[in-house]
Amino acid sequence: MVEAAGKTRGSFEAELGLLREDLLRMGALVKEAVHRAVQALKEQDLELAQEVVDGDEIVDTMEHKIEEKCLRLLALQQPMAVDLRAIGTALKTVTDLERMADHSSDIAKVALRIGREPLIKPLVDIPRMAAIIEEMLDGGLKAYVTRDVAAAQEVARRDEDVDHLYAQIYRELLTYMLEDPRTIRQATHLLFVAQHLERIADHVTNVSEWVVYLVHGEMRDLNP
């Protein structure tokens, strides 16, 4: 009986390991979507932008499969408290990842709306925001796998850098609109892009908070 329980436990832990791998694969797709969406906007690459929009379905499918796997583990196993936290964290993390992908798709849609009309300014700070977010996402997922609370907290702190860039972009684009009303349409689109990126960073911070919950069993606001 003890041997059977050991085998059951080993099978459960193996399933949790596969679940983590699925989340990492989804996270890699989301990171690529963020990068490609901003690249498409900066380079006015409409084909690439459309690829990002179309690729959102792949992330949605992965989300559903991971959710089904989590629910199956809950139904077929008898998880202990720490296991429940692991499954709950996976469910919450996959939701945040899916929303990041949605925001990336929305950025790509903005690129399609702007098309190839001349940009009112070279895009510098928006790609900088995206680069920070990509680093945050890498760090957040690594902290999730290693259950490193200190690393998760460091990821959350970088959200301040994204917020500062967002405020800077907002002020700059507002100045363009006030000085030349002809820029209002495109400047508004670019403001939406910056807002989407800021929201992606918030979702990465959520992932970091779920790491803390996974390890300590309590929710902490890492970006008050």
Q: Is residue 131 part of a domain?
A: yes
Phi then psi dihedrals of residue 124, to 5 deg:
-120, -55
Instruction: Write down the pLDDT at residue 177.
Output: 96
Q: Span 176-198, mean pLDDT?
A: 96
122-133 pLDDT tens trace: 999 999 999 999
Contact at 8 Å (CB) between 157 and 224? no
Has residue 4 got a pLDDT over 70?
A: no
Q: Is residue 212 part of a domain?
A: yes
Q: What value does the mean pLDDT of the chain take?
A: 91
CA distance 211 to 219: 9
Has residue 46 got a pLDDT over 50?
A: yes
CATH number of domain containing 175: 1.20.58.220
Q: Is residue 222 part of a domain?
A: no
Q: Is residue 139 part of a domain?
A: yes
Q: Span 100-123, mean pLDDT?
A: 96
Q: Which residue has the tokens 């945040």?
A: 96
Q: Is residue 144 part of a domain?
A: yes
Q: Span 188-200, mean pLDDT?
A: 97
Residue 82's pLDDT band (boundaries 50, 70, 90)? confident
Instruction: Write down the pLDDT at residue 41.
Output: 97
Q: Is residue 195 part of a domain?
A: yes
Has residue 1 got a pLDDT over 60?
A: no
> Rounded to two decimals, what is the model's pTM?
0.92
**Total domains, the chain:** 1
Tokens of residue 9, six digits: 């436990």
Instruction: Write down the pLDDT at residue 79.
Output: 66
Instruction: Write down the pLDDT at residue 218.
Output: 76
Range of the domain at 174: 2-216
Q: What percent of the chain has pLDDT over 90?
A: 76
Tokens of residue 152, six digits: 């998760």
61-74 pLDDT tens trace: 999 999 999 988 88
Q: Is residue 224 part of a domain?
A: no
Sequence-distant (6+) residues with CB within 8 A of 163 are 198, 201
